[in-house]
Structure 1
Amino acid sequence: MKGRTILLDHLNGREAAALMLDGRLEDLLIASDAPAPGTIYRAVADRPVKGQGGMFLKTPDGNAFLRQIKGMAPGDELLVQVTGYAEDGKAIPVAHRVLFKSRYVIITPNAPGINVSRSIRDEERREEILALVHDTVENVPHGIILRSSCEVAEDEDIAEDLLSMLSLAEQVLNDEGTGPETLIEGDAPHLLAWRDWVEPADVVTQAGSFESHGVMDAIDALETARLELSGGAYAYVEPTRALVAVDVNTGNDSSLSAGTKANFALARELPRALRIRGLGGQIVLDLAPMPKKDRRGFESALKTALRSDGIETVLVGWTPLGHVEMQRKRARLPLAQALK
């Protein structure tokens, strides 16, 4: 199957969305019982965590943990937003800075200014988008980010989305309630797909489309830790309690450059492999042997692949044993857990 296809279906009774590119699974979203990233709470400060610079908060969904709590005291009420999924037995990760994100715009309270995505390089279109915003709203106290999807969108759709998100932001920010409460729930998979998968695609909404379009076969293939790479190389992507271990092998290639080729192939495939498996946290790469002179090129290839991934990932560096350490946001629930 050629082309880009978005499939909206259900998996084990849960809402799910899949993105296929030329018949290969590129992304997968599955609803869960855990609070979704983007959820906004009115929370109550509970108790500080000495030595970590954080505070446990009370929310309707249990304890949350907030870093950087300068000036906060137990009993204080504040707005926080879920930033990712918590590990088993740990508090929900939240941030004090809330964002209101939609298909075309992101509203950033207390950070005024209008910015157009740098992905839009057509200067004439950038000016048109800025003019549209100024014609639509005046004296907005919040920041506005115009997303890359605005480049080919209809102006009336952008304006409608902008007004809707500004209204939502005002409603939440001016809420006068008290005590722990969920003010906005994070977007479910079908809405997330509409919001973030904005490139042209065929959209299939029929029940059973996962089965008929190969998504179920792709998910079944993810039950093995083995990741096939180009040139006959392969890797094993294995989550443990402490971290995600990635082991790279050259396969049958015995040439002098086999290790370098296998490692560069991993750099291109790793973001997708982590994304569709829902893996984050600490990641350690046990690469195939390659000359130290090739390390910089490998880092560049990996960073390029990560930039187009959309999930915040930091390349920490090299260990004395030659492993590569990364820290990746837990923006997805691990696939094995989501399928339960």
Structure 2
Amino acid sequence: MKTLYLDYKPQYVRVAVADDNNELVDFSIEKTAARGVVGNIYKGKVENVLSGMKACFVNIGLERNGFLHVGQTLVEGSTPTGETLNLSPGDSVLCQVVKDQFGEKGVRLSQDITLPGRYLVFLPRSEFVSVSRRITDEERKAELENLVRSALPEGMGAICRTAAEKASSEEILSELSELEELWKNLLERYSRAQEKTAIFKEDDLLLRALRDLRFNDLKKIVVNDKMAYDMAVSEFSDVPVEFYDKPQNILLHYGLGAQIDSLLSRKVKLQNGGEIVIDKTEALNVIDVNTGKYVGGKNLEDTVFMTNLAAAKEIAKQIRLRNLGGIIIIDFIDMTEQAHKEEVLRTLKEEVKSDGMRTNVVSMTSLGLVELTRKRKRVSIDSYLLQKCPYCDNGYVISNEHRIMALREKLVRALSEENVSALLVGLNPEIADALFTTRMLSKECSTIWKHKRIYVVGDANIPKTGEKILAMVGSVLTLPSNARMLY
């Protein structure tokens, strides 16, 4: 059974899913000011056509033009809208973002449109009909497919989502009707809209989580925001929803903070003492497997096999949690027995089946290398939690926003002490400025800290990783001349 945790703040949303052992099985984060554009639908303008590649670049109003290929589809198994690109420079085109901008590359676009609902994903430009692979009851799958096929307009398709398994025919058909109406409205908006504008915007992470994370084994939802709580209650009539109102961050309170922080580490320890090392480049991700301290096998081959087996399971988990996409090369430790190689590969393929993103595992080479491709849709987790190093411009450091999240918990502890009425907080000037510009703690200052005072001082002698917190007990606090009151 799984528990869904929603950490909702004005500046960001974090969504975590944990199993009965309180192990993190899914994690997402989205900044309000830096939302991705995947799922958005635009009226674009064709800038230039690459006839030999059956592709073109389309201006949709973003910093970089998007790339549209005639063979780009959104759904595995479906066929592209057309075999030829009947577009010329200056033409208008209805297109949807399928991949966020990555590095120096603009967004990836498709003319195939998907409109997601709670039970269905509507495909108005495709006749493809399918049922979620997570529904294993063959009789129910056939029922759903027949129901949807009989109700779909000619030339249109749909995918039955996992939540459809327990839905009634009336609920499914009602949603299909709503999605058809939405498509008609979008076509109308497209006819009236200016070029390079969005005519449909995908839901934010909170709404997507409530719509998409409808596990059959979901036992509870815990939310720390009243608005989000009300939305969850209205969406999930069959799952208990709890409101969390304690000062400590919800994910820390439930013991998930350390697991989330570990997603920033290159090295991941395996339970048997081995480890995997994850490195990221512009072109691909590389994962190296090491035996580490594990020497428990009967012989070297057995030790290597057991380490690779444990690594295969952990790698599938880390890829999902970190949202790694594109090409992933896994360097397993060399094994001599063919049966061991096949078992490690089989385990890896089995473990990635639970991943919601399309993942393809290629065979193992004689050197123990495995190539894996995973659909890149949204940016990886470290893109939210890390930022470019300002000194070398090559590496990455923990983002200012993530440091402020950690600072928040220290302020919570300091202000919970008896008789503390104010704090003087010394921070590195860059972190201090970020604290004011992002206003990440504005909600706390207006609610749980509204009767407290927090003064911030920038001090170049304090590293970005540190802080100095002085608590005031009583009514008199001597402040430096450069102290600023927080909000």
Tell me, in whole angstroms, the C-alpha distance in 2 between the residues paired with 1:172 and 1:292.
57
Are 1:79 and 2:94 an aligned pair? yes
Partner of 2:303: 258
TM superposition shift of 1:104: 0.6
TM superposition shift of 1:292: 5.4
8 Å CA contact 1:268, 1:302 repeated in 2: yes
TM superposition shift of 1:198: 1.3
TM superposition shift of 1:78: 1.6
TM superposition shift of 1:6: 0.7
Q: Give CA deviations for 1:252-287 in whole Å, capped at 9, x if unaligned.
A: 333321222222222222222022222212211111
Aligned pairs, number:
337
Tell me, in whole angstroms, the C-alpha distance in 1 between the residues paired with 2:128 and 2:365.
41
Partner of 1:88: 103
Q: Give CA deviations for 1:28-47 in whole Å, capped at 9, x if unaligned.
A: 12124253321111211111
Partner of 1:204: 222
> Could you tell me which of 184, 195, 208 is aligned with 1:192?
208
Which runs of 5 or more residues in structure 1 are unaligned? none
User: Given the superposition, is the C-alpha separation of residues 271 and 49 from structure 1 closer, same or farther in structure 2, using an over 3 Å criterion?
Assistant: farther
Partner of 2:392: none
Partner of 1:246: 287
User: Given the superposition, is the C-alpha separation of residues 12 and 304 from structure 1 closer, same or farther in structure 2, using an over 3 Å criterion?
Assistant: farther
Q: Give CA deviations for 1:112-163 in whole Å, capped at 9, x if unaligned.
A: 365444543445544654676589x564542122222211234443333222
Tell me, in whole angstroms, the C-alpha distance in 1 between the residues paired with 2:170 and 2:145.
13
Are 1:17 and 2:32 an aligned pair? no
Tell me, in whole angstroms, the C-alpha distance in 1 between the residues paired with 2:157 and 2:66.
26
Local SS of the residue matching 2:356? coil
Partner of 2:433: none
Partner of 2:66: 64
Partner of 1:7: 5
Partner of 1:37: 38
8 Å CA contact 2:8, 2:224 repeated in 1: no
Q: Supply the AA of the counterpart residue of 1:219.
A: I
Partner of 1:309: 355
Superposition CA RMSD, Å: 2.6
8 Å CA contact 1:116, 1:146 repeated in 2: yes
Tell me, in whole angstroms, the C-alpha distance in 2 between the residues paired with 1:318 and 1:220.
31
Structure having the higher Rg: 2
Higher normalized contact order (CA 8 Å, seq sep 6+, divided by chain length)? 1
8 Å CA contact 1:43, 1:78 repeated in 2: yes
Aligned ranges 1:161-310 → 2 under 5 Å: 161-174=175-188, 175-177=190-192, 178-199=194-215, 200-207=218-225, 208-254=249-295, 255=299, 256-291=301-336, 293=338, 294-310=340-356
8 Å CA contact 1:35, 1:186 repeated in 2: no
Partner of 1:28: 27
TM superposition shift of 1:64: 0.6
Tell me, in whole angstroms, the C-alpha distance in 2 between the residues paired with 1:260 and 1:179.
57
With the length of structure 1 as denominator, give the TM-score of the two structures.
0.88
Tell me, in whole angstroms, the C-alpha distance in 2 between the residues paired with 1:234 and 1:262.
8
Aligned ranges 1:148-163 → 2 under 5 Å: 148-163=162-177
Tell me, in whole angstroms, the C-alpha distance in 1 between the residues paired with 2:369 and 2:149.
50
My pick for the range that moved more, 288-297 or 103-112, is 288-297
User: Given the superposition, is the C-alpha separation of residues 8 and 155 from structure 1 closer, same or farther in structure 2, using an over 3 Å criterion?
Assistant: farther
Partner of 1:322: 368
Tell me, in whole angstroms, the C-alpha distance in 1 between the residues paired with 2:99 and 2:182.
22
8 Å CA contact 2:100, 2:106 repeated in 1: no
TM superposition shift of 1:50: 6.9
Tell me, in whole angstroms, the C-alpha distance in 2 between the residues paired with 1:286 and 1:123.
37
TM superposition shift of 1:71: 2.6
Which runs of 5 or more residues in structure 2 are unaligned? 71-83, 226-248, 386-398, 400-487
Tell me, in whole angstroms, the C-alpha distance in 1 between the residues paired with 2:67 and 2:149.
38
User: Given the superposition, is the C-alpha separation of residues 89 and 134 from structure 1 closer, same or farther in structure 2, using an over 3 Å criterion?
Assistant: closer
